Chain A
Amino acid sequence: MAKIADGGEVMNWITVVGLEIHAQMATQTKMFCACRREAGAEANLHICPVCVGWPGALPVLQSEAVRCAIRAALCLGCEIQELSRFDRKNYFYPDLPKGYQISQFYKPYALGGGIPFIRDDQSAATLPLVRIHMEEDAGKSSHESDGTSRIDLNRCSSPLLEIVTEPMMMSSTEAASCVRSVRNLLRWVDVCDGDMEKGNLRCDVNVSVMPEGAKEYGTRTELKNLNSFVSIERSIVVESARQIELLAAGGTIRQETRLWDQDKEITESMRGKEDSPDYRYFPEPDLPAISISNAEIQTQRESLPEMPEVRELRWLEEYKFQEREIVPLMARRANGDFLESMVSEGVAPTDASNWFRGEILRYLNERSEKIESFPVSTKSMARLILATKEDLFSVGRAKSLLQEALEAESSLDHLIDQAGSQVQDEGELAGWVDQVLSENPEAVTKIQAGDEKPMGFLMGQVMRLSSGQAHPRKVQELIKDRLAN
Chain B
Amino acid sequence: MSEDRNLQLPPQSATCLEVLDHLAAGKCSAEQLLTSYLDYLETTGRELGAAVEVFRESALDAARESDARRKNGDRVGLLEGIPFTAKMNISTIEGTTDASSSILEGFKSGADATVVSRLKNQGAILAGKSNCDEFAMGASNETSVHGVVKNPWSHDRVPGGSSGGAAALAGSHGWAFHLGSDTGGSIRQPAAFCGATGLKPTWGRVSRRGLIAFGSSLDQIGPLARDAADVRRVLEVIEGADELDATSVACERDTAESVASDPVRRIGLVSEGLSEGVDEDIRERIRESAKRLGSAGYEVVEVSLQTLARANACYQVIATAEASSNLARYDGVHIGQRVPAENLDQLYCGSRSSGFGEEVRRRILLGTFVLSSGYIDAYYGRAQQVRAEIRQEILTVLEDVDALMMPVSPFAPFCIGERVSDPLALYACDILTVTANLAGVPAIAVPCGSDETGLPMGMQWMGRHGEDQRLLQLAESWQSLDDSWRKLPTGVK
Please list the residues of chain A having a beta carbon within 8 angstroms of any beta carbon in chain B: 49, 52-61, 88, 90, 92, 94, 97-100, 151, 278, 280-282, 285-288
B414 within 8 A of A: no
| 8 residue pairs, one from A and one from B, having the closest CB atoms | A99-B328, A285-B217, A280-B371, A285-B216, A56-B210, A97-B334, A278-B373, A53-B329
List of A residues within 8 angstroms of B113 by Cβ = 56
Residues of A within 8 A of B365 (CB): none
A415 to B414 Cα, complex, angstroms:
94
Nearest CB of B to A49, in Å? 7
Q: A55 and B212 in contact (CB under 8 A), knowing A97-B333, A98-B328?
A: yes
B contact residues around A100 at 8 Å (CB)? 325, 328
Question: Is A94 touching B321 in the complex (CB atoms < 8 A)?
Answer: no
Q: Is B208 an interface residue (CB 8 A)?
A: yes
Which residues on the A side are within 8 Å of B247 (C-beta)?
A: 58, 285-288
Number of residues on chain B facing chain A (CB within 8 A)? 41
Partner-A contacts on B (CB < 8 A): 91, 97, 99, 104, 107, 109, 111, 113, 208-213, 215-217, 243-247, 321-322, 324-325, 327-329, 331, 333-335, 344, 348, 368, 371-373, 376, 380
Bound complex: CA of A55 vs CA of B97, how far in Å? Answer: 9
Choose among A56, A61, A151, A280 the residue that contacts B246 (Cβ–Cβ < 8 A): A61
The distance in angstroms between the C-alpha atoms of A151 and B331, with both chains bound, is 14
A55 near B335 (CB under 8 angstroms)?
Answer: yes
With A56-B211, A56-B213, A287-B246 known, 10 other A-B pairs at CB within 8 A are A53-B335, A55-B212, A60-B243, A60-B244, A90-B325, A90-B371, A94-B344, A100-B325, A278-B372, A287-B247
**Residues of chain A contacted by B324 (CB below 8 angstroms):** 90, 280
Choose among A59, A282, A286, A288 the residue that contacts B380 (Cβ–Cβ < 8 A): A282
B335 interface neighbour in A60, A97, A281, Cβ under 8 Å: A97
Chain A residues within an 8 Å CB radius of B244: 57-58, 60
User: B329 touching A97 by the CB < 8 A rule?
Assistant: yes
Q: Is the CB of B331 within 8 A of A92?
A: yes
Chain B hits for A53, CB < 8 A: 329, 334-335
CA distance A60 to B246 in the complex (A): 5
- With contacts A94-B344, A99-B325 known, is A55 near B334, CB below 8 A? no
Q: Is the CB of B371 within 8 A of A282?
A: yes
Cα–Cα distance between A59 and B212 once the two chains are bound (Å) = 14
Instruction: List 16 A-B residue pairs with CB atoms under 8 Å apart, sorted by A's residue number.
Output: A55-B104, A55-B335, A56-B97, A56-B111, A56-B210, A56-B213, A57-B244, A58-B244, A58-B247, A60-B243, A60-B244, A94-B344, A99-B331, A151-B333, A278-B373, A280-B376
Using Cβ atoms and an 8 Å threshold, which residues of chain A touch B216?
285-286
A54 touches B368 (CB 8 A): no
A149 — nearest CB in chain B belongs to which residue?
B344
CA distance A92 to B107 in the complex (A): 22
Residues of B within 8 A of A287 (CB): 246-247
Bound: A151/B243 CA distance, A: 29
Main secondary structure of the interface of A (DSSP, over half): loop
> In the complex, which residues of chain B have a beta carbon less than 8 angstroms from the beta carbon of A286?
213, 216, 246-247
Chain B residues with Cβ below 8 Å from A280 are 324-325, 368, 371-373, 376
Chain A positions within 8 Å of B213 at CB level: 55-56, 286
Complex contact A56–B325 (CB within 8 A): no
Cβ contacts under 8 Å, B329 to chain A? 53, 55, 97-99
Q: Is the CB of A288 within 8 A of B246?
A: yes
In the complex, what distance in Å separates the CA atom of A92 from the CA atom of B330? 10
* CB-nearest residue of chain A to B347: A94
- Within the complex, what minimum Cβ distance (angstroms) separates B326 from chain A? 9
| Cross-chain contact B328 with A54 (CB below 8 angstroms) | no
B212 touching A58, Cβ below 8 Å: no
A52: which B residues are within 8 A, CB to CB? 334
**Cα–Cα distance between A90 and B329 once the two chains are bound (Å):** 11
Indicate which residue in A58, A60, A92 contacts B208 across the interface (CB closer than 8 Å): A58
In the bound complex, residues from chain A placing their C-beta under 8 Å from that of B210 are 56
Contact of A54 among B321, B335, B380 (CB under 8 A): B335
Query: How distant is B114 from chain A, measured CB to nearest CB, in Å?
Result: 10
Question: Roughly how many angstroms separate A409 CA and B380 CA in the complex, as a whole number?
Answer: 66
* With contact pairs A278-B372, A278-B373 given, residues A57 and B335 touching in the complex (Cβ less than 8 Å): no
Are B321 and A282 within 8 A (Cβ)? yes
CB distance from B319 to the nearest CB of A (A): 11
Residues of B within 8 Å of A55, CB to CB, are 91, 97, 99, 104, 107, 109, 212-213, 329, 335
Which residue in chain A gives the minimum CB-CB distance to B215?
Answer: A285
Q: Is the CB of B328 within 8 A of A49?
A: no
What CA separation (Å) do A100 and B331 show in the bound complex?
12
Q: How far is the CA of A90 from the CA of B429 in the complex (A)?
A: 30
When chains A and B are docked, how far (Å) is the Cα of A282 from the Cα of B384?
10
- Min Cβ gap B352→A in Å is 10
Closest to B219 in A: A285
Closest to B335 in A: A55
Compute how far the CA of A56 lies from the CA of B321 in the bound complex, rounded to whole angstroms: 18
CB distance from A328 to the nearest CB of B (A): 46
A56 and B109 contacting across the interface, CB-CB below 8 Å: yes
Contacting residues, chain A, for B109 (C-beta < 8 A): 54-56
A58 touching B335, Cβ below 8 Å: no
**Chain B residues within an 8 Å CB radius of A54:** 109, 335
Residue with the greatest number of chain B CB neighbours at <10 A, chosen from A49, A94, A100, A285: A285
Contact A282 B325 (CB under 8 A): yes
**Interchain nearest-CB distance for B391 vs A (Å):** 14
Verify A88–B97 contact, CB threshold 8 A. Answer: no
* Distance of A41 from chain B, by nearest CB (Å): 19
Alpha-carbon distance A399/B79, docked complex (angstroms): 77
Q: Which residues of B contact A281 (CB under 8 A)?
A: 371
> Is there an interface contact between A56 and B333, defined as CB atoms closer than 8 Å?
no
Give the distance in Å from the alpha carbon of A94 to the alpha carbon of B246 in the complex. Answer: 27
Q: Quick one: which of A61, A100, A151 has the most chain B CB within 10 A?
A: A100
Q: Which residues of chain A are within 8 angstroms of B91 by Cβ–Cβ distance?
A: 55-56
Which residues from B are CB-within-8-Å of A90?
324-325, 328, 371
Please report the C-alpha to C-alpha distance between residue A58 and residue B247 in the assembled complex, in whole angstroms: 9
With A100-B328, A280-B368, A280-B372 already in contact, the answer to whether A58 and B246 are too (CB < 8 A) is: yes
Chain A residues with Cβ below 8 Å from B215 are 285
- Closest B-chain residue to A99, C-beta based? B328
Indicate whether A49 sits within 8 Å of B371 (C-beta atoms), given known contacts A55-B97, A58-B208, A282-B325. Answer: no
Using A55-B91, A280-B376, A285-B217 as known contacts, say yes or no to A94 and B212 having CB atoms under 8 A apart. Answer: no
Which residues does chain A contribute within 8 Å of B373, judged by CB atoms? 278, 280
Q: How long is the Cα–Cα vector from A170 to B373 in the complex, in angstroms?
A: 33
Contacts of B107 in A (CB 8 A): 55
* Distance from A57 Cβ to chain B, minimum over Cβ atoms (Å): 7
Q: Give Cα distance in the complex from A226 to B322, angstroms.
A: 35
Q: How far is the CB of A251 from chain B (nearest CB, A)?
A: 28
